[in-house]
Amino acid sequence: MNVELAGCNVVVTGGGSGIGEALCRHVAQHRPAAVAVVDVNAQGARQTAARIGPIAHPFTADLSSEDGMTGVIDDITAELGPIDVWCGNAGIFTFGGFDVPTEAWEQSWNVNVMAHVWAARHLVPQMVERGGGTFVITASAAGLLAQIGSAPYSITKHAAVAFAEWLSITHGDEGIGVTVVCPQAVATAMTAGVPGGGVAGVDGMLSADEVAAAAVDGLLAGTFLVLPHPEVATYARRRAEDPQRWLAGMRRLQQRFVGGVGETTDPGAP
């Protein structure tokens, strides 16, 4: 199902920085009625909106709680009208394993997973009533493979991909389109200071613009899975076909990159 952005109200969360900022600019090229730039960082949201011009509107919201989510959905709807396309892109990275404090696990869970659930809970009924709508979820290759160095990121990004699949299966026939974007390393604030993107950079770093362009192409074409690093498809296939071999390769990668921060990757052919 092709998606038309012209005349639509599009929301981008995490729009104040990185991939979200680039998504706002790329979406704006397709003649939407409005782009709502949502971020917990008010200044970032304002700067992105200013860069785009009058069709862009900044909104400040902390999407780690359902109240924050419903508040901003209500504000956007009151100011711009019904939401047609929701790009849930805000995300956080936490380095560590089971040692990560419970509060930090909860924050990852809320921002990387529950924000998508809350957005869908409030928007799907409205969208279905109006004949349809679209969700773009920025997950990660970590959601298909694993994140060396971060249990919270691996788990929450897998959950984000699983929710995107569930949403498409359950509401696709009611006109709800879903696109899930799963890049490896991207040069943004999240990977700043990690030379070459760390472990996720083994296949090269992409720019936020390259990822946003791939995401918007996928959105327009109605593609479910967008892999800006195409190698990820091969890695996911290998993981499914021979998990034991894949895990052995990932342990070797872990040895090489212990302490590395970034997104996920695969060892290639072990």
Question: CB of 92 within 8 A of CB of 108?
Answer: yes
Side-chain half-sphere CA neighbours of 104 within 13 A: 14
| Chain centroid, CA 194 distance in Å | 20
Coil, strand, or helix at residue 150? Answer: strand
Measured between alpha carbons, how far apart are the two ends of the chain, in Å? 38
C-alpha distances in Å from residue 232, one per residue of 160, 168, 238, 267: 17, 21, 10, 11
260 lies in the binding site for ligand NAD (CB under 6 A): no
CA-CA distance, 221 to 181, in Å (whole number)?
13
**Restricting to residues 191-230, which ones interact with ligand NAD according to CB under 6 A?**
191, 200
Tell me the closest approach of the beta carbon of residue 45 to ligand NAD, in angstroms: 8
Tell me the closest approach of the beta carbon of residue 229 to ligand NAD, in angstroms: 9
73 lies in the binding site for ligand NAD (CB under 6 A): no
In the numeric block, the tokens 């872990």 are attached to 254
> Which range in 10-18, 29-37, 124-132, 229-237 contacts ligand NAD by CB under 6 A?
10-18
Question: CB of 64 within 8 A of CB of 111?
Answer: yes
Tell me the closest approach of the beta carbon of residue 249 to ligand NAD, in angstroms: 20
Tell me the closest approach of the beta carbon of residue 233 to ligand NAD, in angstroms: 15
Give the pair of three-digit tokens for residue 135. Answer: 């969700």
Tell me the closest approach of the beta carbon of residue 18 to ligand NAD, in angstroms: 2
CA-CA distance, 23 to 25, in Å (whole number)?
5
The binder of ligand NAD chosen from 12, 32, 64, 257 (CB under 6 A):
64
In the complex with ligand NAD, the residue whose CB is nearer, 55 or 92, is: 92
40 lies in the binding site for ligand NAD (CB under 6 A): yes
Tell me the closest approach of the beta carbon of residue 200 to ligand NAD, in angstroms: 6
Instruction: Name the amino acid, one letter, at 184.
Output: Q
Coil, strand, or helix at residue 56? Answer: strand
| Number of neighbours of residue 239 by Cβ within 10 angstroms | 18
Site size toward ligand NAD (CB under 6 A) is 32
Find the angle CA(195)-CA(137)-CA(62) to the nearest 5 degrees: 80
The binder of ligand NAD chosen from 58, 133, 152, 183 (CB under 6 A):
183
266 lies in the binding site for ligand NAD (CB under 6 A): no
The binder of ligand NAD chosen from 94, 134, 138, 147 (CB under 6 A):
138
140 lies in the binding site for ligand NAD (CB under 6 A): yes
Tell me the closest approach of the beta carbon of residue 62 to ligand NAD, in angstroms: 5
Give the pair of three-digit tokens for residue 130. Answer: 């109006």
**Restricting to residues 76-115, which ones interact with ligand NAD according to CB under 6 A?**
89-92, 111
The binder of ligand NAD chosen from 18, 58, 177, 249 (CB under 6 A):
18
Burial class (CB in 10 A: 0-12, 13-18, 19+), 98: exposed
In the complex with ligand NAD, the residue whose CB is nearer, 7 or 204, is: 204
Contacts with ligand NAD by CB under 6 A lie at 13-14, 16-20, 39-41, 44, 61-64, 89-92, 111, 138, 140, 183, 185-186, 188-191, 200, 262-263
